[in-house]
Amino acid sequence: MAQRDDEFQYIDEELKELGLDGPAPSVRRDDLTLSTGTLGTLVWGEHPEIAFLHGGGLNAHTWDSTVLALGRPAIAIDLPGHGDSSWRDDFDYSPQTNAVAVAEALDALVPGVPQNVVGQSLGGLTGIALAGSRPDLVKSLVIVDVSPGIRFEDSAQVRDFLAGPQVFPSREDIVEKALAAGIGSSRRQLERGVVLNTRVRDDGTVVFKHHLANPPEGVAPSLGDFTTLWDAVIDSPVPVLLVRGSHGFLPPDVVAEFTERVPRAIVVEIEAGHNVHEQKPAELAAAIGAFLDSH
C-alpha cells in the first residue's frame, strides 16, 4: 500500500508550481467498503461537485494539481484495481464494470447530488459508461484524450512502457523508463507520480500498485470493446467537453468521428500528450472551469 502518512506531502510543492498562494485546501482519504470490494477515494473540500476518474495504470493522485488549480470541491476516485482499491479476481477492468463501483461510491459519498464527471483515458470511458447506466449521477461529462473510437494499439508510448518486466530495482528506474517512452514532460512530476503509484517490496524491488501490471498467470490485459460505448454518449443528454492533447492518443479522424456522432460536444485542444492533466493542469482546469460555468 502507499505510504499513507506521506500521500499528501506534495501538495504545497504543487501549489507553488501552479503559482497559487494561501493554505492548501482540505483533503482526506475516504476508502469505502462496497459490494465490489474496497474503493479508494480522495475528498477535496466539502459538498463535492466534480468526480475525477483517472486513466489505466494511474490513481486518484494523478488529479492533485488539476484539482488544486480548479479550486472546487471534488472527489478523485481510485478505479478498481488501482491505487488503494481492491483488485478484482476476474481481472475485469472494463469501463462498464468500473462504472458499477463508481456509481456505488457516488451513492455513498454524494447521495442525490449529480456530479460533473471528468475522466481521462480509461476514466473517460468509465464516465461514459456511468452516464449510460446511471444518468442520475452525471450532470456533465469532460472526456480527456479518449473516445469510444480510440485505437490504443496505435500508441508507441503504451507499447514501449508496458513492454518488458514490471518489477524494477528502484523507483528511479521507472522514471527513466517513462521518460524514454515519452511519457510525461517533467522529471519532478514523474518522480512524485511514481512514489504515489508504486510500492517497495520486502526485497527492495519496486512494483506498480495497479493490477494491470500484475495480471494473473496466462491472462492478457483486456478492457473490452470500447465501441460499445457509443450509444451511451450519443443517447445521453448531458453536456460534453472533449479535451484533446495535441500530442496525445486521438488522431484528427477519431476527433472528427466523435464530433460527428456527438454534435453537442465542445472540443478543446491543449498542447500536451495523453496525460493532459499531469502536463498542463492549469490549462485543463481553466477549460473545465469555463465549461462548467457555461451550463
- d(CA 92, CA 223) in angstroms, rounded, equals 7
Which of 61, 82, 210, 274 is catalytic? The answer is 274
- d(CA 58, CA 210) in angstroms, rounded, equals 7
Task: Tell me if residue 30 is catalytic.
Answer: no
Which of 64, 78, 84, 145 is catalytic? The answer is 145
Residues in CB range of 69: below 8 A, 6 or more apart: 18, 20, 281, 282, 284, 285, 286
Nearest alpha carbon to residue 47 among 8, 69, 75, 71: 75
Residues in CB range of 92: below 8 A, 6 or more apart: none
- d(CA 218, CA 209) in angstroms, rounded, equals 20
Task: Tell me if residue 133 is catalytic.
Answer: no
Task: Tell me if residue 274 is catalytic.
Answer: yes
Which of 65, 86, 94, 121 is catalytic? The answer is 121
Cell representation of residue 163 = 513492454
Contact 30, 43 (CB under 8 A): yes
Nearest 5°: the CA angle 111, 93, 216 is 135
Cell representation of residue 114 = 449529480
Q: What are residue 196's phi and psi, to 5 degrees?
A: -80, -10
Dump strand ranges (E) for 9-85.
27-29, 32-34, 37-39, 41-44, 50-53, 74-77
Question: What single-letter DSSP state applies at residue 251?
Answer: -
In the chain the first and final C-alpha atoms are separated, in Å, by: 40
Active site residues: 121, 145, 274
